[in-house]
Each structure stands twice: as C-alpha cells, then as structure tokens.
Copies of this chain bind each other. A is one copy, B any other.
Amino acid sequence: MIRTPYLLFLGDAHDQLAAKVAQGIQDWRPENVVGQLRMPGCKADVGAPDMTLEEAWNAGARTLVIGVANRGGVISESWLDVLVEAIGMGYDLASGLHNLLRNEPRLAEAATGSGAALHDVRLPTVSYPIASGARRTGKRCLAVGTDCSVGKMYTGLAMDAEMRNRGLKSTFRPTGQTGILITGHGVPLDAVVADFMSGAVEWLTPDNDPDHWDHIEGQGSLWHLSFSGVTMALIHGGQPDALILAHEPTRTHLRGLPDHALPSLEALRDMALPLARIANPDCVVAGISINTKALDDEAAARLCAEVEDRMGLPTTDPYRHGAGKLVDALEAIG
C-alpha cells in the first residue's frame, strides 16, 4: 500500500500528455491528491493546487508520486534534487517509470537515511501463490479488448465510480502501474512470473460480500500475440461473472502489430465467453465500452447506438457518456 494523500510531481513535463499518470490520479481519485508540484518549464497542469514540498507536507501529503513520463526513461538531475529534498522531509516516493527509483544512488542513499519507502510499482512486491481455481464469494467484472490500450482501465474506473455513486459495494482492482498509482495498491501483472499470473489475480480479488463487485483492470487482448497470455490469466484468475467488451473504432491494426487486424466485437465475444466459462460457468457478456475519443459528439452517439442495436448489448463510452448503462447491466445480474 502507498501512503496517501499524494503530492503529484509533474517535473518539467514537456506537454500535457506526459503527465497522463498524474491526470489519471486527479481524475479518478481527487480525494487522494493534495496538490501538484511543477518545476520551471513544466507544460502540464492537471488542475490540482500548485504547492511546494513544504506546503503539501503541511497539508497532509505523505507520498510524492512521479506523475510524469520522462524522455528516454532517464530520471534527470534536476528531478533528483527535488526528490532527494522530498525524501529528507519524510515523503515516500512512488513511480511507475521503467528506470527504478531504487536504482538511483542518490535516492537509495537518501531513503536509507530517512526510512522512506521507494515504491517502484512496475515490480511485484508480493510472492503470489499459484492459482487454486477455487470459486470465491462476491462478484467480478473484467473488460476484455479487441486490442491493447482501448480503454479497459477507464472502463473499470468509470464503472467503479458509478457503482460507488449509487451506494453499491465496489472496488477497482488495478493490474498496471497507472492503476496502481491511482488507487495506491494492485498487481503489476505484466511483471509477474508466468506461473504466478493467475494466482496474482486471485490474490487481488479475494472473497468478498456477495453483493460486492470487483472491477478488474484488463490487460492486453486475446488477439494481441505479444500479451494474450496475460489476458488469459486475467480471465481465468479473475473468474469474472461479467465481461465488458472494449473497443476503439478507429484503430486500423493491433497496437504494434501492423500485419494483424482487430477482431470484430462478435469474434471477441465468441472467443472470450467460452474461455471465461471454464472458470465461471455463469459468466455473461454484460455490455460494450466504446472509446470514442477520436470521434465528434454526433459520430460517437451514432456509433454507440449502432453497436448496441447490432450486438443486443448495452453500449456506451463510459468516460464520455457515463457508465450508467453498464452498471445497470451488472445490477441486473445480481
């Protein structure tokens, strides 16, 4: 667990997109955010109050979260000065960068001195068990995509937020570094050793109240040759009661695989559901999430209506239009 609340470190972000991790935290867990720290030249702003390390500490912040992607994966000297100062004041650090905090000698030394935790959320910190396959109490929902990076995380976050708004029992269960930084816990599934992937998902989604829903962050795609094994482990370790099909309509080929076309939503349904029913015979496809970011309002609404009609399943862009339809579908399951 990462100590909250956070001060979001935006560094010298060269554009808004570079701060998308910080933006995700601010969008989905504003209650975890005290403020943002921007260095000279920073071109991003996630809408949190600008604060110094000291102001944020006095406002309660206990972890400085690296909410920015740096060029080339290097943690620059100018960043290091700020991070070392933060450690000296008592902050923990958290990062999803490929370059690990613990491998920066200045940070490691400062942390040894202060007792600060350096959370490199790309690395597992738990010895996950081998999956038992035993059924668990509580309900689970998993988004499966026609491709990687089609909005599965945002789908889960939006459904979780909608359920909590309705007073329902719900938890978002992150399986990637951005999700882990947003909520402060989770499993970095792509870094887990093969034999323990499915067990890590079981560990992440334990027994719960019969009317509690876990929204498990999806990864990869059954069609994505590089990462389909991770998707499979989510389907079998998660034992979902409900699948959401996730799609981005303007994608011309699988991400990073120019020779491979995306499947249709029908093909995704017909492949994912039988696989899911191996783990949970009661699993259903509950709805469809379309990432309409590249479309204008009219085209987005028209596409969702067309897909809903064609597939006979509640269809929405949960980020643009809200996750109400999808949550309605889960409520109908029980």
Contacts and interface: CB of A to CB of B under 8 A. Distances in A.
Contact of A189 (B194, B239, B263): B194
A298 to B, nearest CB: 34
Task: Report the interface size class on chain A.
Answer: 35 or more
B226 A198 contact: yes
Interface in A213-230: 222-223, 225-230
B260 A227 contact: no
B227 A198 contact: yes
B194 A226 contact: no
A135 B259 CA distance: 9
Contacts of A260: 133, 278
Interface centre among A226, A227, A237, A254, by most chain B C-beta atoms within 10 angstroms, is A226
A275 B279 contact: no
A256 B134 CA distance: 11
Nearest to A191: B193
B198 A190 contact: no
Interface string A276-294: 0011000000000000000
Contact of A194 (B135, B193, B257): B193
Interface of A: 130-135, 189-195, 197-199, 222-223, 225-233, 236-237, 239, 254, 256-257, 259-260, 263, 271, 274-275, 278-279
